[in-house]
Structures are given as structure tokens and as C-alpha cells.
Structure 1
Amino acid sequence: MGLSPLALAVITWYKDNRPLAGSTSVAFLNRGQIIEIESAQIADAGIYKCVAINSAGATELYYSLQVHVPPSISGSSNVVAVVVNNLVRLECEARGIPAPSLTWLKDGSPVSGFANGIQVLSGGRILALTSAQISDTGRYTCVAVNAAGEKQRDIDLRVYVPPNIMGEEQNVSALIGQAVELLCQSDAIPAPTLTWLKDGRPLLKKPGLRISENGSVLKIEDAQVQDTGRYTCEATNVAGKTEKNYNVNIWVPPNIYGSNELAQLTVIEGNLISLLCESSGIPPPHLIWQKKGSLVLADSTERVRTLSGGRQLQISMAEKSDAGLYTCVASNIAGTAQKDYTLQVYSK
């Protein structure tokens, strides 16, 4: 029996019109009737041509070989942060053959292309949020799919909120010895670090001064005059910084020097006499003079008048009727104090 015409044919293979004979990646089987590529690579894609020639003529057969590559997604940042109300873009650089189709999920649910301020751009390569809100926080997943497979990449989006301390600048007043409590509450994401200052400098620890663990409460147990000042609470996080000021005033009740003693004064009729009332207090006390419980008013001749903001009651020409019990009353927001004086007027 003779050989078949095919067996007598000379078979030659070409790739992209170049002979395959010298290729190391291709194995020829069954006298060249079959070529086998054991581990196909992208470079193996192309147009393959089989040419068979014998004494009767020649024929050829074409194959188009496509080498598919599963998707891959580049990028190493798995956490993206944005300040609330700002623009943020999540990127998904995916490769593969054929080019993969891209879709996005948020917390496992599909993301629609143009809803709730979300835009899917460049065929899915970019997910843009025009004005990020707290509700946009979550896990976004880019899914790349082609005929060769599927690849996913997760991105955690964190929407940060700058600190905002509740309330305006505050004036705080307390009596000496009382407790003072300053509250500093901030709604921020992430929770801010709270720092206290006094008159622009870091607050030094001292007995009776306590700051809560999270910094939101400053308490002075036994307020003293030296605790007066401008306190500042600073709230800081990665999104920003803000502050609130507290003007703390410690009031001190009035005190009149020598108030525990009755001052006994004498004057000769027709002479000048001055009654002195030295006082202290915070705020500085207001001084008035009384005689037998009634307010002492300056007369039209200014024979009787008050000087130095009430610290002195002056009687320029003493009369018998000037004799009696005088009282200096010092008062401020924190309280009152008084001192009594007896005045005797002697005849010349």
C-alpha cells in the first residue's frame, strides 16, 4: 500500500508570515500536522498559517490565536481618607486581555453610576464622589472581569470631619473657693485630641486642677484669684483644628480694713474731719456712706462730700448735727462689707 497524499505532503507552519521552524516554544507533533504550545504567553498570540505542499499542489489553513490574560489591578493604597464635603476619587487601574469590564460595589452592593453625588468615570477606572459625606464611609470594591477570570480590590473610604467645639466664647464667673467646671465638647471624626491652655500657654498641673481622661472637662476644685485668666480648649484631628476660649473671673467679696473694730472719731466744731474707708475685692467694690442708716448725700455747699471714689467722707466745717453713727458700705457682685464710725463734735 502506498502513502496517502497528506503523508507525502511537506507541511510548514508560519506565525505572522514568519516560519515557526526555529521557535523553541512550539512542539511539532504527528509529522507537523499538529503544533503544541505548552505554556501560552501573550507573545504567542497572532495569525498562524499551515502550508501543505505535495506533487499535486499546495493548500493552506489559517488560525487566529488569542491569548487571554486574567485581570490584574494595580495600586497599593487600600485606605483613602477625605475631609467631609470635599471631592475624592477612587481609582481602579485594571489590566487584562481582553480588556476587563469594571464595576463598583459599596459594602457589597452595586454602586449606580450617577446617584447620590457618585460618578463612575473612564469606563469604571474612576469612582468620584463630588462632595463626600459621612454616609459615604465604607468599603468600596472594584471588580474587574474578562473571559479569563475576575479580580477584586477593596478600598476603605474614611470621611473625616474637622473638630467643631460646641458653643461660642464663654465668660465664666465664680466666687473664690467655689468649683469651676469648663466643658469642651467636639463632634469630629476621628475623635479629636483636646488640649488646654491658660493665657496662651500649656496648662500646668497643680493640686485641685483636674482634666478628664478624654480632655473634655476641666475642673478647678477650689478656685483662687490666680486661677483668673483666659482658658483655651484646642481640638485637633487629621482633618483640622479649632479652639474655644473661656474667660474665667474669680470674684472676691469686699473686705474693709479694720471693719471688725468701731472707729471712734472726734472733731472740734468748725474744723475739718475725714472718715477713711479702705476696701479690697474683685471686682473693686462700690462704696457708699450712710448716717444712722440713711444715705449721706453731698450738700449744695459741698460742706459734706465724698472723695476718691467713696474712700473718703469729708466734712469741711463740722457742726453739732454731724455727730452720730456713720457706716461705710462696700459692695460688689460677690457680696458686701461694712465698717462703723462714731463721730463726736465738740464745742470750741
Structure 2
Amino acid sequence: PAILTCLVDSSPAASISWGKLGHQMPLLEDGQGMTSALTIPDVTVKDSGNYICTASNVFGSARRNIRLDITDPPLIDPSMEKNVTVQQGNDGFSLKCLADGNPEPRVRWRRKDTNFSNIVINEEGQGMTSVLSIPDVTVKDSGNYICTASNVFGSVRRNIRLDITDPPSISVPTTSVRVKEGDPAVLSCLVDSNPSASITWTIQGRPVPDGDNGRNQKMTSTLSIPDVGVKDGGDYVCKTTNMFGSVMRNIHVEIEGTTTCLVK
């Protein structure tokens, strides 16, 4: 609680009352004789302000101002999301961090794992809000961001995980392979995807059951053919898919000494 005390010297005795600037209703107080105490049981920052003790008798009145400042360590808005997902290419994306406290806290952003590089920091208000702006979001902007609010009574922070999603990309070392009949062959494709993507192999539109299919964010998928036969020639397709799209690459396998008829 906060207790404000007003001592009065008066003859004849004076009546004592309390008020607050900007507050319309009179405030309740306790007192004995010429001492009056104003008690605020559960103080909050809203109770800060100028309080007025007024003493009056038949000969006049006198008043005294008392300034009450309620200090409060900083607090970051608890409704702020801890995990944020944005699609690559989003233009004008921003994260807002709102804090409260008395005295007014200083609010700042930083990135935990690297520097900000192309990221712009904008300040709004009078230090209570900090906006982190990323003008052209790319996968490289994924990471852990920290909002910190500080004043003379302490410091708090909130960790935000930012995940940038995009359609998968795929690359192959070569688009054409020549293999002698009876020799082994290994086909591979490199997939980069966020979120993780499924990978499948087909030949002439038919699934290849022995393919190294899977689901990962960044991986190399291989298809091994231990003993190449004439039937193994043709167009193989490595296809990767996530929730934002799919992409495929063709690899043509030619068996030396044979002619393959392709059906499309």
C-alpha cells in the first residue's frame, strides 16, 4: 500500500480533505486530530499523480501538493506470439513488441543467431513499442528474434521464433546418364525445402519402389540400380512436394548397346 500523510497546525481546529488532480470524487482518508493519512491499498501505475491535502477552518484554507510516483518493472505484452510463420516473398512483414512499465521502458529488437543485415528497425510511440520490419522476406531471415524491454527497475525479454516457408527447390548433378548393361547406376537429387518435403521417384510415370524416398528439410535422395538391365532405361523423375507446391527434375538413363523406346 501507499500512505500519504498530512500534518496540520491550526487554531481553531481545521477540517482536512484529500483530492487528486484530474479526479472528480473526494478521496477517503483516516486521521486523528490534526493528522490525516490517505491510504491506497493496492497501488498500480494508474495511482501515480498529484494529490492535494486541504485544511480549512473559519479563517481560511491551505493546501499542500504531494507527488506520488508508482514504479513498475517492465512487462512485455503476454499475448505476443512466440512462433511466427511467414511465406517467402512476403513484402512489408513486421513484428511488433509492446511493453509497459514505469518509468517508461526502452524496447529493442535483436537477432539471437546473427546480425540484422537487411532488417530495418523502426521505433513507434515513445519507447513503449518497437517494430521489427523485414522488407522482403527470404529463408535466410528464419531464426530466433529477441525483444527486450528495460528500465531502471529491471529488464525482461521475449523470444520469437520466425520460420520462413517456401516451395521446395530441387537440383540434380546430371540430367543424362549412360550405363553399360550389368553395371550399377546411382541417380541422385538434392532437395531444399521449408517446411520439409516428401520425395518420390518414378520411371515413365510408374513409381520406383526402391527409391530413397523420404521427408526432410534438406537432403539428397538417391535411387540405386545394382544391376542395370535393358528394362531400366528411360526417363526417371525425382519429385518433391510440400504444402506450398511441388517441383520435379528428369534424369534420362541410357543403356549402352541398346535402343530404348520411350513412351510418353
Task: Give the TM interval when normalised to the shorter protein.
Answer: 0.7 to 0.9
Residue 173 (structure 1) aligns with: 85
TM-score (norm 1): 0.58
1:228 equivalent to 2:138? Answer: no
Residue number in structure 1 paired with 2:75: 163
| Separation of aligned partners in 2, 1:200 and 1:139 | 46
Structure 1 position 199, deviation (Å):
0.6
For the pair 1:111 / 2:27, whether they are aligned, the reply is yes
- Do the aligned residues in 2 keep the contact of 1:253 with 1:332 (CA within 8 Å)? yes
1:225 positional shift: 4.1
Q: How has the CA–CA distance of structure 1 residues 306 and 104 changed in structure 2, closer, same or farther, with 3 Å as cutoff?
A: closer
Is 1:169–1:244's contact at 8 Å kept on the other side of the alignment?
no
Counterpart amino acid of residue 330 in structure 1 = T
Matched, 1:127 2:127: no
Contact 2:150 2:156 in 1 (8 A): yes
Q: Determine the C-alpha separation between the residues in 1 that align with 2:101 and 2:202.
A: 58
Aligned length: 246
Counterpart check, 1:327 vs 2:237: yes
Cα deviation, residue 249, structure 1:
2.3
More strand by share: 2
Cα offset, 1:312, TM superposition: 1.2
Residues 216 and 166 (structure 1), Cα distance of their counterparts in 2 relative to 1, 3 Å cut: farther
Task: Supply the distance in 2 between the matched residues of 1:281 and 1:166 (Cα, whole angstroms).
Answer: 32
Q: Note the C-alpha offset of 1:98.
A: 5.8
* Matching residue of 1:116: none
Matches within 5 A, 1:259-278: 263-278=175-190
Note the C-alpha offset of 1:164: 3.8
Contact 2:80 2:97 in 1 (8 A): no
1:185 is paired with a residue whose SS is: strand
Aligned counterparts, 1:60-79, within 5 A: none
Answer whether contact 1:320 1:346 (CA < 8 A) is retained: no
Where do 5+ consecutive residues of structure 2 fail to align? 259-264
Return closer, same or farther for 1:331/1:173 CA change in 2, 3 Å cut-off. same
Output the CA distance in 2 between the equivalents of 1:254 and 1:109.
Answer: 66
Q: Distance in 1 between matches of 2:255 and 2:138?
A: 44
Question: Aligned in 2, Cα 1:122/1:290: closer, same or farther, shift over 3 Å?
Answer: farther
Alignment match, 2:109: 196
The Cα shift of 1:346 comes to: 4.7
Following superposition, the deviation at residue 315 of structure 1 comes to 0.9
In the alignment, structure 1 residue 306 sits paired with structure 2 residue 196:
no
In 2, Cα distance between the equivalents of 1:200 and 1:306?
A: 33
Alignment of 1:286-305 (within 5 A): 286-298=198-210, 305=211
State the shift of 1:190 in Å: 6.2
Query: Is 1:211 aligned to 2:127, yes or no?
Result: no
- Structure 1 equivalent of residue 226 of structure 2: 316
Q: Quick one: structure 1 residues 199 and 329, their matched pair in 2 at CA, closer, same or farther if it must change by over 3 Å? A: same
- The change in CA–CA distance for 1:257 and 1:330 in structure 2 (over 3 A counts) is same
Q: What is the SS of the residue equivalent to 1:184?
A: strand
Paired with 2:140 and 2:186, the residues of 1 have a C-alpha distance of: 35
Q: Higher RCO, 1 or 2 (CA under 8 Å, sep at least 6)? A: 2
CA contact (8 A) 1:287 1:310 kept: no
Q: Identify if the C-alpha distance between structure 1 residues 100 and 281 changes in structure 2 by more than 3 Å, giving closer, same or farther.
A: same
Deviation at 1:200, TM superposition (A): 7.8
- CA shift at 1:320, angstroms? 2.4
- Answer yes or no: is 1:143 the counterpart of 2:57: no
Query: Structure 1 counterpart of 2:27, which letter?
Result: V
The AA in structure 2 aligned to 1:256 is I
Are residue 344 (structure 1) and residue 254 (structure 2) matched? yes
| In structure 1, distance between residues paired with 2:240 and 2:113 | 34
Paired residues of 2:199 and 2:213 also in contact (CA < 8 A) = no
Quick check: which has more Rg, 1 or 2?
1
More displaced 10-residue stretch of structure 1: 163-172 or 288-297: 163-172
Query: Would you say the 8 A contact 1:166–1:186 is kept in 2?
Result: no
**Aligned position for 1:183:** 96
Distance between the aligned counterparts of 2:26 and 2:87, measured in 1?
62
Q: Quick one: distance in 2 between partners of 1:284 and 1:313?
A: 20
Cα deviation 1:287-307 (Å, max 9, x = unaligned) = 321112232113xxxxxx538
CA distance in 2, matches of 1:208, 1:134: 34
| RMSD, aligned CA | 3.6
Residues 305-344 of structure 1: CA deviation (Å, up to 9, x unaligned): 5389662100112232222210112334554332111223
User: SS at the partner of 2:90?
Assistant: coil
Amino acid at match of 1:322: D
SS of the equivalent of 1:328 reads strand
Distance 2:213 2:118 in 1: 43
